[in-house]
Amino acid sequence: MIHITRRERFNAAHRLFRDDFTDEKNMEVFGKCSNPNWHGHNYELYVTVKGEINSETGFLVNLKTLSKVIQSKVIVKLDHKNINLEVDFMKGKLASTENLAVGIWKEIEESVKNIGTNLHCVKVIESENNYVEYFGPA
């Protein structure tokens, strides 16, 4: 069993808040991350897939193919976007890094299978001090 990981990046705006919370409650729960005028991050996305090495190519999967899946399925939707307002798979969800990692997993899972490998981990780095890893549904 071998794991291979591809990094992609996106810059996006977001805000942590709930419509059914008052401004005070939002500030209490989410702090400055709930600023109504948005803030943003340089997100780093690491997608890890696992499987057996293809003896014909020496590859687990061609990384250019994997990169294209990630680009076309999620980066194009996230890069230079507002996560709360513009990202279809985040509609109706809190724009937390946790939900983002789960959302990205669902968006790419099938396409990753279609290129002959298995999704193992979606890691989203929000800042040099914080990151989330999602290993899929139980």
82 forms beta bridges with 13
* Both structure tokens of 126: 């929000």
From candidates 41, 89, 116, 118, binder to a second copy by CB under 8 A: 41
* Residue pair 12/82 in contact by the 8 Å Cβ criterion: yes
Residue 80 falls in the annotated catalytic set? yes
The DSSP call for residue 52 is P
To a second copy, the closest distance from the beta carbon of 17 in angstroms equals: 10
Single out the residue of 23, 39, 71, 110 in contact with a second copy (rule: CB under 8 A): 39
- 128 in catalytic set: no
Length of the chain: 138
Site for a second copy in 63-82 (CB under 8 A): 63-64, 79-82
| Positions in 98-127 near a second copy (CB under 8 A) | 98-99, 101-102, 127
Distance CA 7, CA 60 (A): 16
The answer to whether residue 39 is catalytic is: no
Q: Please report the DSSP string for 76-104 in residue order.
A: HHHTTEEHHHH-GGGTTS---HHHHHHHH
**Residues lying near a second copy in the complex (CB under 8 A):** 1-9, 11-14, 16, 18, 29-33, 35, 37-42, 48, 53, 56-60, 62-64, 79-82, 85-86, 93-99, 101-102, 127-135, 138
